[in-house]
Structure 1
């Protein structure tokens, strides 16, 4: 398992949007989609805003491997279970980062008990 550098954490954590793609069966990566990402400590988290059937989320869970790009950083990652993380800390990170730039209705899609189980931790793969 790889680790994020401080610079990568800062750049991705400060980026407003993250491009995320998952590994396909043929070994290629899917077309990237744009989602939100938050940093809590030395970890980066993403959530499925529109439920467990959101295609990017289904594929990320199924394949477990993908690629992310934000803040000038591009890395291959593993999509890891985040159930050991504090969901309230992740909610707070989403509020701190996105409340000032987005509507409460949109931020509400990535915070709260309904989306806690839909959280993935991004773990960088060794370069």
Structure 2
């Protein structure tokens, strides 16, 4: 595992959306899906607004690897389940995206159960 450099993380964080595509078992990429993302304590996090039923999330669970594209950064990544910062992640989602119903969904228990830390491969 390597860490994001500060320029990469800042570029990704500044973008409002992130495209995520999981690797299939044969190494090819699934169709990218747009998700919301936040940075907390110098780590990148994403969640499935549909909880474990989200198609992209199910794909990520199969291999644990994929690719992201955001802020001009396209790179291979690994996905690590991490619920250690859920309250801070909720606050970061509210700060970045506001207090509307979409944020209520991404901070709901079903979405919190899918919190993934995204690490460069």
Short-chain TM bin: over 0.9
User: Which SS does the other structure have where 2:110 is aligned?
Assistant: coil
**Larger helix percent:** 2
Q: Does 1:123 align with 2:119?
A: yes
Task: Describe the superposition over 1:99-124 as per-residue Cα deviations: whole angstroms up to 9, x where unpaired.
Answer: 0xxx6111111113332221000011
Partner of 1:113: 109
Name the CA distance, whole Å, in 2 between partners of 1:120 and 1:86: 10
Could you tell me which runs of 5 or more consecutive residues in structure 1 were left unpaired when the two chains were aligned.
Answer: none
Q: After the TM superposition, which segments of 4 or more aligned residues of structure 1 sit over 4 Å from their partners?
A: none
Could you tell me which runs of 5 or more consecutive residues in structure 2 were left unpaired when the two chains were aligned.
Answer: none
Partner of 2:64: 64
Confirm or deny: 8 A CA contact 2:50 2:110 kept in the other structure.
no
Give the aligned CA root-mean-square deviation in angstroms. Answer: 1.1
C-alpha displacement of 1:97: 0.3
How high is the TM-score relative to the length of structure 2? 0.95
Confirm or deny: 8 A CA contact 2:46 2:116 kept in the other structure.
yes
C-alpha displacement of 1:27: 1.1
